[in-house]
Structure 1
Amino acid sequence: MWSRRLNLEQLTETLIDIESVTGNEQEVLTFIEDYLTKNKFSGEIIKNDGGLIAYHSKTNSKVALVGHVDTVPIVDDQERLSDSEKISGRGAVDMKSGIAVMMNTLLDEKSNEVAIFYTAEEGPIKENGLEILMPTLLSEFNIEFAIIMEPTNLECQLGCLGTLNAELKINGKSSHSARPWIGDNPILKMNELLEFLKENEVKEHKIEGLDFKEVISATKIKGGIANNVLPSDIKLNINYRFLPTLSNNEAKNYIMESLGKFGEVEIGDIANGAMPNLESKHVQAFIDSTKVTTKSKQAWTDIARFSKEKIPAVNFGPGDPLLAHTSNEFVNKNQILESYKLLLTYLKSYR
């Protein structure tokens, strides 16, 4: 594969050009391994179904750099352009530019970092590659702090929301659409549900002095078998982004109690959130050394997996998260370089 060293911009573009939609990550993982090896990476690489772990020393690898190599699907009108200021393309923000920074850091800062390139972050939670890699990370490394290289606009974004998906089934009775009085149209029963969702869509809270928004949304709706038949039922997916102060059971109970009066509720996947952990000396050291702005993370990220294992972590990486998953996804070139410099500043201060 590549035998010459690329600069950060070139490396980001090369990674973008390797399609790695969730479930199709093998080519980009092979590229990462080959690129590191052929550019004289002096450490070791562990491979398994969850991805790659690259490190210099197991005992001294105390700071984890964490990034997923998969992307969401590419849309028909996806921009793939580059100019003097920005790089466009699927994954430019989420998160091929962050992966490029991790790779460069491994080659240039040969001390206490371990880099985790994992699969399937954009897919179902239960298939997440980091979950597969985590037992190895916990048993073979001495990780004290993790930096999740998700796009944050170079802010230090702390904590994350929990996420829950539930299916709400509203029952009715099918009939010919010319004779609706014979049936019971479940679509007409949605008024109270829609009012509830509108009233509770966003609730603002402060946690450790940071602003978090609790959010509940209807994201999918399906029902009906033909244009001239009233549906026997309709099903909605309800996505609940819950506060890190809530447990998974508390989030489940809230959804069951709130939505149960509208129909039958079935809880799907769920993942806990993570507290900001501002009292952690490692979090404070990162903020102090980089001097970046601190905010909450208004989403779920794999910071929650480290929080669950009592490992403090931050979200930090190049790119505007508002551009993630969009058809005009792009990253500013200066942010890629700046995130790399700030990361090196922190790692040098960690010694």
Structure 2
Amino acid sequence: MNLNELTQKLIDIESVTGNENEVINFIEKYLTDEGYDGEIFRNEGGLIVSSPSSNPKIALVGHLDTVPIDENQKIVSDEENIYGRGSVDMKAGVAVMMKTLLDKNKDVIGVFYTAEEGSSEQNGLNFLMDILKKDFSIELAIVMEPSSLECQLGCNGSLNANLDLVGISSHSARPWMGENPFFKLNKVADYLSENEIKDFDIDGLIYKQVVTVTKIQGGVANNVTPPKISMNVNFRFVPTFSSDDAENYIKDELEQFGEVTIKNIATGALPNKNLGMISEFISKTGLDVTPKQGWTDVARFTDEGIPAINFGPGDPLLAHTSDEFVNKNEILESYEILKKFLEST
């Protein structure tokens, strides 16, 4: 199978989070059948693929799961593009990893993991990271997330908080007997219109800090004013913020409107563009360098002291969409960029 055929085959294997076994089986069998003579280690987190006689210093990293398939998902491919759930995020990147491993470069290890699209606790790297740190001396992790063939550095942190706008319920025919929290939404909306997006320059890269509402719930019956309105506030904070910084910031900003409960936090990663192998990757590939707007597992590797970048085929703006697709030439180009870099390292 060529790269396009391999990408299509991976897309055809449904692997929504929690259902990755079939695609793991396929990758393991494919590498073996194609003559890969290294070690293939498997546990509940996924696969680690490496040459037994080497000490690889570069990890190619890709998650195998996808978000659920849209009932209107476009799946018919054409001469230029491959369509389907996971084409961009990130079956094309996984295909490039598989082909690169077959080149048998002894500096390279492959990490195929599960449940990136699920909760942080589910993430397959939780079961693989200790092994990677114990058995290997990785100097650069290339997370094959779609990057439009840019070298995307660092990533935002992510915080989810519950904001309760508390009122006093009443009969809907006598709303003056209570206090409807609906009207407090105006103040939240006014705040967000002024503060939803802020730009921060970090190492010459512009990261956007974002505070936005993603869910709203309220009401108990058609004839009762709501006792409270609850909303999920998602805060994508800049890489310079610690988890404490992010929590304190969102509480300071939102407690003027209601009760704030922090649900979860994942810190981001600094770009580190002048650091060792990251700097070498940038200089040798000549790729455009941009900030990663969003959270990726680059943050996990950075937290573990392993320099990491985002690089892979596909437009990240198409991820999770009903018309998700990846350009065939971009798949091949990403493979060739990696091959050239690895041969020069």
TM-score by length of 1: 0.96
Q: Name the SS for the 1:127 alignment partner.
A: coil
Q: Are positions 1:149 and 2:144 aligned together?
A: yes
1:64-79 to structure 2, matched below 5 A, reads 64-79=59-74
Q: 1:275 aligns with which of 270, 274, 279?
A: 270
Q: Deviations over 1:117-138 (max 9, x none)?
A: 1111111122111122111111
Q: Name the SS for the 1:190 alignment partner.
A: helix
Q: Name the SS for the 2:263 alignment partner.
A: strand
Q: Name the SS for the 2:62 alignment partner.
A: strand
Structure 1: distance between partners of 2:142 and 2:293? 17
Aligned 8 A contact 2:54 2:106 in 1: no
Aligned residue-pair number: 345
Q: 1:248 aligns with which of 243, 252, 275?
A: 243
Q: Are positions 1:202 and 2:211 aligned together?
A: no
Equivalent residue for 1:331?
A: 326
Percent identical among aligned pairs is 57
Structure 1 window deviating more from structure 2 (83-92 vs 168-177): it is 168-177
Deviation at 1:311, TM superposition (A): 1.3
Q: 2:7 aligns with which of 12, 26, 51?
A: 12
Equivalent residue for 1:234?
A: 229
Structure 2: distance between partners of 1:112 and 1:335? 24
Runs of 5+ in structure 1 lacking a partner? 1-5
Equivalent residue for 2:77?
A: 82
Detail structure 1 runs of 4+ shifted over 3 Å in the superposition: none
TM-score by length of 2: 0.98
1:1-351 to structure 2, matched below 5 A, reads 6-57=1-52, 59-350=54-345
Deviation at 1:58, TM superposition (A): 7.1
Structure 1 window deviating more from structure 2 (139-148 vs 50-59): it is 50-59
Q: Deviations over 1:180-213 (max 9, x none)?
A: 1222211111111111111111101110011111
Aligned 8 A contact 2:105 2:342 in 1: no
Aligned 8 A contact 1:58 1:141 in 2: no
Structure 2: distance between partners of 1:229 and 1:309? 51
Deviation at 1:242, TM superposition (A): 0.5
Structure 1: distance between partners of 2:223 and 2:87? 45
Aligned 8 A contact 1:58 1:142 in 2: no
Aligned 8 A contact 1:64 1:114 in 2: yes
